[in-house]
């Protein structure tokens, strides 16, 4: 299957997802419940990845696994000739595997599960979200320039 970069698909959908990402991250500081704050951090990451996938490749994803979404992004980048960017995504996943797994668990566990999160967990997730957004912004910029 050939993948094409659709650098012009930044429209309303992408802007909406990125706006919601920032809203979730701002809300983290105003929520007293660490479980809910962890969920908000996960949602921020999930929405930003989905925004970038759509912005670059015109693909909407219904799944919610962060590592899976990042895997799709790395695969699409590689098949589109952006091997270095693909490798940066893969290295990010390797480096932050534990935090990404924690965030994925918070998607369900933060709302329904028996796991309790604390502020240290939330701080770690927000740090990873910030790093992820920074990386994804660099990826988008490189693809659009390239």
DSSP string, 25-89: HHHHTT-S-HHHHHHHHHHHHHHHHHHHHHHHH--------HHHHHHHHHHHHHHTT-HHHHHHH
Is the pLDDT at 107 greater than 60? The verdict is yes
Q: Does position 70 have pLDDT exceeding 80, yes or no?
A: yes
Task: Output the pLDDT for position 110.
Answer: 61
- Tell the burial category of 60 from Cβ atoms under 10 Å away from its Cβ (0-12, 13-18, 19+): exposed
Q: What is the mean pLDDT of residues 109-129?
A: 87
Task: For residue 35, give both structure tokens.
Answer: 């479980």
Average pLDDT over residues 83-87: 98
Q: How confident is the model at residue 111 (pLDDT cuts 50, 70, 90)?
A: low
Please give the model's pTM, rounded to 2 decimal places: 0.90
* Domains along the sequence of the chain with CATH: 12-145 (1.20.120.330)
Residues 5-53 have pLDDT tens digits of: 444 445 899 999 999 999 999 999 999 999 999 999 999 999 999 999 9
Residue 98 to residue 10: CA distance in whole angstroms: 31
Q: Which residue has the tokens 């098949």?
A: 79
């Amino acid at each position: 299957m050939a993948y094409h970069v659709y650098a012009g698909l930044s429209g309303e959908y992408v802007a909406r997802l990125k706006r919601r990402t920032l809203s979730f991250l701002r809300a983290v500081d105003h929520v007293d419940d660490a479980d809910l704050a962890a969920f908000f951090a996960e949602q921020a990451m999930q929405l930003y990845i989905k925004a970038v996938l759509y912005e670059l490749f015109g693909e909407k994803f219904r799944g919610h696994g962060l590592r899976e979404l990042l895997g799709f992004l790395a695969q699409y980048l590689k098949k589109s000739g952006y091997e270095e960017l693909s490798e940066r995504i893969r290295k990010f996943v390797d480096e932050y595997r534990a935090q990404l797994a924690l965030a994925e668990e918070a998607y369900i566990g933060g709302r329904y599960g028996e796991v309790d999160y604390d502020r240290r967990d939330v701080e770690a997730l927000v740090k990873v979200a910030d790093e992820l957004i920074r990386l994804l912004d660099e990826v988008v910029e490189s693809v659009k320039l390239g």
